[in-house]
Chain A
Amino acid sequence: MEKKLGVFICWCGSNIASSVDVDKAAAEAAKLDGVVHAENYMYMCSDPGQQLVKDTITEKGLDGVVVACCSPRMHENTFRKAAGSVGLNSYLLEIANIREQCSWVHQNNKPLATAKAVSIIEGTLDKVKENLPLETITIDLTKRVCVVGGGIAGIMSALDLANAGYDVVIIEREPAIGGHMSQISQTFPYFHNVPELLKKKIDEVNAHPRIKVYVNSEVDVLDGYVGNFNVTIKTRPAFVDSAKCTACGKCLEVCPVKVDDEFNRGLSQRGAIFRYNQLETAKIPVLEQGDCLHFADSDSEDGGKCTACVDACPEDAIDLGTIRSLNEEFVGAIVMATGYDLYSPTNMPEYGAGKIPDVIDALAFERLLDPKGPTKGQVLRPSDGAVPKKVVFIQCVGSRDPERHKAYCSRACCMYTAKQARLYRQQVEEGTAYISYMDIRSDSKDFEEFVQKGMEEENLVYIRGRVAKVIEGDGCLQVFTSDTLSGRQVVIEADLVVLAMAMEPKAGIRELAKKMNVTIDGDAFLSETHIKLYPVESSTKGVYLAGCGQSPKDITDTVSQALATAGKIQTMFSNETLIADPLIAEVKDDVCSGCGICIEICPYGARLMNEFTRISDVNQAVCQGCGACIAACPNKACELINSTSRQFLRTIGDFASRSEAV
C-alpha cells in the first residue's frame, strides 16, 4: 500500500523564505506522488509549528513525513520526537535540508532556489517511501570501569568513579601507581609539595573498597564493545609476597646487581631488587626480572644461580618461581590515561646528552630537588657532586622543531623550567640561572606572575634564542647560543645544563591504541572525537581519554580532563541499558560470499565472520552506520538500513530529472 505522505516547509524566519518561495514550494510538493498534505509555517521547530506537524499526522493518518527546513543536525531529533509522540514511527520522518544546502547558498535566484528546494523535497519523499519503521537497539551495560594508567589522570578519574559507587580497576604498567607526578618535587605556580598531595590520593586509591589496582600489568587483549568490554590483563610476576614482606630492606643490601635507577633518571643506582620509588606507598621491594642474575643467561657467571635475596629474606617472602598471570575484567567503559615519556635526550647529540654527565633532563632535575631523592634535595652536579654555580636551562628541546623533531609545543616546559630555576635560586643564593627560550608560554592563572617574580626576585636570566650546542670545556660546560633580542652570539660557561625535553606519548602506545581500537594522530597522541565539544571521547564508544596521552598538558588540565571522563561515564551509567540508533549496516545472507573485506575495512571492529555460516555478521551494538563496508563490499551484500542504494539512486534520479527540466 502506498504511504500517505505529508510535507512541512519551514520559512526559518526569513532564512529560507527570502530565497525560496515557500508557497510555491508547498503547492509543487502537494502535487507530488503520495503527498496528501503540504503546507508551510514560519518556524516549524517552534512549539506551535511542532503542534501543526503532530495534529496533521493524527488527522490525516500520515505514515511518512518530510520536514523541509535546516540541517538534520539541528532538528532531526526534534521532529522525530514530535512524530513519535503521536504514534508515528520516528524513522518514517526525514529532514529535507533546504537551508544550508539551498536557501543560504542561492540567495540571488529565487525561482531556481525554489526549484531546487522542491527537488530536495521530492528526493527525500522518495527516501521516506521506502523507509522501514525501526526500533532502537538496546545494549546491556556493565557498570564497572577499567582505567589504563595509574598516573594522576588515572587516579583522579578512578577516585571520582569509585566515590560515585562504581567498581574500578586500574591497570598500571609500573610496579606502583603515581606516574610521573611521583618524580616531581613541587608544583607551579604555588610551590605546593607534590609528594604530600600525591600520597593522599594514592592512599585513597589503595584504601578504596571499590578500586582494584593491577600493577606490573598491561592490557593483553580487549574484546567487546561499549557497555560490555572484556579486558584481559597481563601481569608480570612480583616475586615478592606483599603479605609476608615486612619491608625490612635486607634483600636490597645483598643484591649484587647495580644498574641505573630509571625512577631517578640514572642519578643513582639500584639492585635488581629495589624500591620503585621513595613514596611511603611503595615500601615493598620489587624485583626486575630483566636485571636479576637468577634469570640471566646460564652461560654467564652466576647465571641462574643467584638467590641472595631469597636467602636473606627472614620472612621467606621472595619466590623466584612466580609466573606471570592473566586476569579478565568485564567493564562497561574504559579510560585511557596512558601518559607521556620524555623524548630521549640521545636524539640531541648537539647538547651532549648521554655523554656529558652534567647535561641532564628536566625530570632528573626534579629528582635532585626531591628531599627523598638521590641527593636528599641538594642540587649537585652528577659528575663530581659539587654545587653548580651556573645552571643553564634549555627549553623547547625537541619541541617546536618540525624539521628534525616534534612540531608541537609540550605546553608544561616553560612553567616547570621557571619553577626549577626558582627552586635552584632559592637553594643556591650565589648561583645564576640562565633560561634559553623561544617564547615564554606562561598562559594560565597566576603563571605569568610566577615567571615575572622569577625574573624580578630571583634574578633568572632569560635569553631568547635557541642553543646551538653544548660542549665540555675546561672544567665547565660551554653553551653556545644566540640572543635574538640583541642579535649577538653568546657563550655561557655553565656547571650544569638542564634540558626541557619534549613530551611524547608513552612507549608502546601504537600497539595499545590498536588493541583498544582508538585512533592516534601523526605524533601518536590519542585522538579525541571533537577537540572543542568532545575533548575526552575517543573514536570508540565507551573509551575515554585523559591526560598527556591525548596531548601534552600540565597537572591541572590533566585533572580537569580526568574528572571529565568520570563525569561522562557516570552519565552513561545512569541508565540501566544503553540505547543505540538502528541506522546501521545489515547483510543479505544469500549474497555475502564471506570474503572478509568488510571486516578489514570496518573502523569500529563491528564486522565479524560467522564461523558456521561463513557470512560476515554485523555487531549491532558496535556498528556506527558509517557505510564503509557498504562501499567496500564487492558483491553489494551490505546495505545501510533506511539508506539503501535503491533509496539513494531514486533520490539522485529525482535530482537528475528535475535539473534537466530546469
Chain B
Amino acid sequence: MGEIVELNSVIDGEPVTCACALGDLTEFESVPVDRRVMVIGGGITGITAAIDLGNAGYQVMMVERLPSVGGRMLQLSETFPTLDCAQCTLTPRTVESGQHPKVTLKTSCEVEELKGEPGDFTVTVRQKVTYVDWNKCTGCGTCIQKCPSKGISLFERDAGRMTAIYTLSPQAVPNKPFIDADRCRYLTRGKCGVCAKSCPVGAIDYNQQESFFEARVGAIIVATGFDIYDWKNKMPEYGGGKIPDVIDGLTMERYLSASGPTAGKIVRPSDGKEVKEIVFIQCVGSRNPELHKSYCSRVCCMYTAKHARLYKHKVHDGQVYVFYIDIRSTGKGYEQFIQQSVSEEEIIYIRGRAAKVFQNGDQITVQGADTLSGRKIEINADMVVLAAAMVPNEGAQELADILGIKCNDDGFFVEDNYKLSPIETGHQGIYIAGCCQGSKDIADSSAQGSAAASKVQVLLSSLRRQNQEAV
C-alpha cells in the first residue's frame, strides 16, 4: 500500500527534489499500523521513548523540527548532581536512535495534520528544506569550512558564531549540514555559491522545495520540550539583551562546555577577558505572576548551583554570587549538592530578587536586596547569568490544536489526571512526556519518556488482542 504520498509533487504536477533524505520508509511500513508509533520531538524524552519502543519491536518514527536530534541536553556542559558530562551521557543515545533498525528519524519535519483514531492515526508531516540533499551528502564538512558567512547559531546561542551552512553540533545525528536561509549569501543576495562549488558530491541544492508526506501510526508521543523565556524583549530591568555580558543560563552552558566556542573558558562576551566576579540571578521571569510567568521552572536552582560550581572549578579565585528567592533542591542528592556548593565552594547565596542590572563602565552593576539582613546590595561583576524561565517550545498551542489536546494558560500540555494519569491526554492514543507537560529535569523527563512508551505498548497490545479476539 502506498501510504506515503509526495503531496506537493502531485499538486504541482511536476517532480521536485524531495528534501526528505534519510529515513527510508520501507522498514517503517513493513509492520502493521498497530505496531507503528510516532514520537514528536527528538530530545532526551523522545529519544528514551523511541529507543524503548524500538527495542520492544515497534517501528518508531521520530519527528524532529530541527535538522538533528538531541534537543536541549546536547547544549548542556555537565549535569547535576553528579557533574557527568552531558554529551558523554547523551551522544551514545542519539547515535543509538540514529542507528536503531526500528527507529526512523525524520528531522527538519513538523506535524501538519492528524486524522484517524487510536490505533490508526494518519499524520501529515511537512518536510522542511535544508538546501542539502542528504542522500548525496557524506557529511565530510568541506562546505562548513569554506562558507564565508558567519553569524549567530541556534546551537551556540550568543556564545559563538557559526557559518551559514552548519550542523547543530559536532556530534549531530544525522551528521549532515543544513543552510540557514536567513544568513546564506546565495539565498539572500544571489551571490556566493561557495558551498555548492566546494561540495565534492554535488549535494547542495538551493532550489530544494518543501514536501509533505503521510504516515499511518497507532499512537503518538508528544515530547516537544521547552524554550527559554524571551527575557531580551520582556525584561528591560536586566538589560533587555543590550548588555553583552548579561547572558542566560543556556548560553552559559555553551561557555562551560569543553566543546563549546570558548573550549570551556569563561570569558566575557564583550572583550574576551576572564570573568573574575560573576552574579547569577534565579527566577528570571519565573514566580512573577504580575509581570511574567507565575510558575516555578523547577530546574534553575539546580543548574545555577551547577554553573556556579563549574565556574569555581575553572576560575579558582573567582567570586560567585547567587540571587535566589527560595532554594529548591528537591531531587535525589540535590540538597547535598547545594550544601556542598555553599560550604566547600564558597558560593555566596543572597536571598532576594535582583531589581536592576546595568552597565557601569567596564563592569555590570547588579542592584538588589538581601531580605535576610534587610539591606540593599550592589555588586559589580564581570558577567551576569540569568536563570530565565522555561516556557513551552514555540508552536505548542498550534500542535495541541492539530492533535486535539489541551494547553494550559502557560502553553504546557494538559495531562488527563495530574496524579494518576500524568502521561495521558484527553485524546486516547496521544501521550505527553517531558518539559512540554511542565518544567522538569532530565531524570524526570527520561522517566516520563519510558512511561509514555509503556502507555503506548499497553494501548496497542490490547488493541491487537481485541482484534485477534474479533477475528
Seen from chain A, the residues whose Cβ lies within 8 Å of a Cβ on chain B are 13-15, 42-43, 46-48, 73-75, 77-78, 152, 156, 160, 163-165, 187, 189-190, 192, 197, 201, 399-400, 402, 407-409, 411, 439-449, 452, 484-487, 525, 530-533, 535-536, 550-551, 555-557, 559-568, 570-571, 574-575
Contact = CB atoms under 8 A, between A and B. Distances in A.
Given A439-B326, A570-B457, A563 B451 contact: yes
A412 to B, nearest CB: 8
A243 B449 CA distance: 42
B372 A484 contact: yes
A531 B78 CA distance: 13
Given A165-B461, A445-B437, 16 more contacts: A189-B418, A192-B417, A402-B339, A409-B329, A441-B328, A441-B329, A444-B439, A446-B295, A449-B289, A449-B294, A452-B294, A532-B446, A559-B419, A567-B450, A567-B451, A571-B55
A164 B289 CA distance: 43
A448 B336 contact: no
B89 interface: yes
A75 B339 contact: no
Given A564-B454, A571-B55, A557 B418 contact: no
Instruction: Give me the 4 closest cross-chain CB pairs, A-B, nearest first.
Output: A567-B454, A445-B438, A563-B451, A564-B450
A208 to B, nearest CB: 13
A439 B305 CA distance: 15
A536 B298 contact: no
Given A402-B339, A535-B446, A443 B451 contact: no
A48 to B, nearest CB: 6
Interface in B379-410: 408
Interface in B443-471: 443-444, 446-455, 457-458, 461-462, 465
Interface stretch (B13-21, B91-99, B207-215): B91-99
A201 B79 CA distance: 36
A581 to B, nearest CB: 16
B114 interface: no
Contacts of B373: 487
B420 A43 contact: no
Given A74-B92, A156-B420, A164-B462, A533 B139 contact: no
A536 B450 contact: yes
Interface residues of B, number: 80
Interface string B360-386: 000000000001111000000000000
A501 to B, nearest CB: 16
Contacts, number: 211
B423 A574 contact: no
28 contacts: A43-B140, A46-B138, A46-B139, A46-B175, A78-B95, A160-B454, A164-B457, A164-B462, A408-B332, A439-B326, A440-B326, A441-B328, A443-B328, A445-B438, A445-B439, A449-B294, A449-B295, A484-B372, A485-B371, A485-B372, A486-B374, A532-B84, A535-B446, A559-B421, A563-B455, A567-B450, A571-B55, A571-B56
Given A43-B138, A164-B461, A407 B294 contact: no
Given A46-B138, A443-B330, A550-B332, A187 B418 contact: yes
A409 B141 CA distance: 48
Contacts of B148: none
A531 B372 contact: no
B79 A532 contact: yes
A73 B171 CA distance: 14
A562 B417 CA distance: 15
A11 to B, nearest CB: 10
Nearest to A156: B420
A444 B298 contact: yes
B296 A443 contact: yes
B297 to A, nearest CB: 8
B423 A560 contact: yes
Contacts of B455: 160, 563, 567
A583 to B, nearest CB: 18
Contacts of B96: 77
B118 interface: no
Nearest to A530: B89
A414 B419 CA distance: 17
A387 to B, nearest CB: 30
A531 B298 contact: no
Interface string B401-442: 000000010001000011111110000000000000111101
B35 to A, nearest CB: 10
B447 A443 contact: no
B335 interface: yes
B391 to A, nearest CB: 13
Given A42-B140, A43-B175, A571-B52, A443 B420 contact: no
B419 A197 contact: yes
Contacts of A525: 332
Contacts of B417: 192, 197
B205 to A, nearest CB: 19
A571 B453 contact: yes
B419 A555 contact: yes
A43 B137 CA distance: 12
Nearest to B298: A443
A487 B457 contact: no
Interface string B159-193: 00000000000100001000000000000000000
A407 B81 CA distance: 14
Contacts of B289: 449, 452
B327 interface: yes
Given A187-B419, A201-B420, A408 B335 contact: yes
Contacts of B298: 443-444
Contacts of B371: 485
Nearest to A439: B326
A190 B418 contact: yes
A557 B333 contact: no
Contacts of B296: 442-444, 447-448
B151 interface: no
B332 A551 contact: yes
